[in-house]
A and B are shown apart, each in its own frame.
Chain A
Amino acid sequence: MIPNPLALISEVTHRCPLHCVYCSNPLQLIATKAELSTEEWVRVFQEASRLGVLHLHLTGGEPAARADLKDLIAGGRRAGLYTNLITSGIGVSEARLAGLVEAGLDHIQLSFQDSRDEPAKWIAGAKGHAYKIALADKIRQLPVAFTVNLVVHRQNLDHIEEMIEFVEQLQPERVEIAHAQYYGWALKNRDTLLPTPKQLENCLRAVEKAQLRLAGKVRIDSVVPDYYARYPKACMGGWGRRLMLIDPSGQALPCHAAGVIPGLQFDNVREHPLEWIWRESAAFQRFRGEQWMPEPCKSCDRRTEDFGGCRCQAFLLTGDPCATDPVCSLSPDHRLIEMARSAANSGTAQVPWSYRTSMG
Chain B
Amino acid sequence: MPSPSPTSQPRLAPGCRWSTHGEQQVVLFPEGMIRVQGTGQNILELCDGQRTVQEIIETLSGRYGAADPVKITEDVSSFLEALQRKRIVDY
Contacts and interface: CB of A to CB of B under 8 A. Distances in A.
Interface in B66-91: 84-87
Given A173-B15, A216-B1, A145 B29 contact: yes
A278 B38 CA distance: 33
A84 interface: yes
A80 B61 CA distance: 35
A249 B15 CA distance: 29
B13 A216 contact: no
Interface string B2-29: 0000000000011111010110001011
B14 to A, nearest CB: 5
A82 interface: yes
Contacts of A218: 87
A54 B28 contact: yes
B30 interface: yes
B30 A52 contact: no
Query: Which of A143, A147, A219 is the most central at the interface, judged by chain B CB atoms within 10 Å of its CB?
Result: A219
A144 interface: yes
Interface residues on A, range: 20 to 34
A174 B21 contact: no
B14 A55 contact: no
B19 A174 contact: no
A12 to B, nearest CB: 19
Contact of A143 (B14, B26, B32): B14
A239 interface: no
Contact of B15 (A52, A107, A217, A219): A107
Query: Which of B16, B22, B31, B85 is the most central at the interface, judged by chain A CB atoms within 10 Å of its CB?
Result: B31
B33 interface: yes
Interface in A227-255: none
Interface string A284-321: 00000000000000000000000000000000000000
Nearest to B33: A54
B32 to A, nearest CB: 8
Interface of B: 1, 13-17, 19, 21-22, 26, 28-33, 84-87
21 contacts: A52-B21, A52-B22, A54-B26, A54-B33, A55-B28, A55-B33, A80-B19, A106-B17, A107-B30, A144-B14, A145-B29, A145-B30, A145-B87, A146-B15, A173-B30, A174-B31, A215-B85, A216-B1, A216-B84, A217-B1, A221-B31
Interface of A: 6, 52, 54-55, 80, 82, 84, 106-107, 109, 143-147, 173-174, 215-219, 221
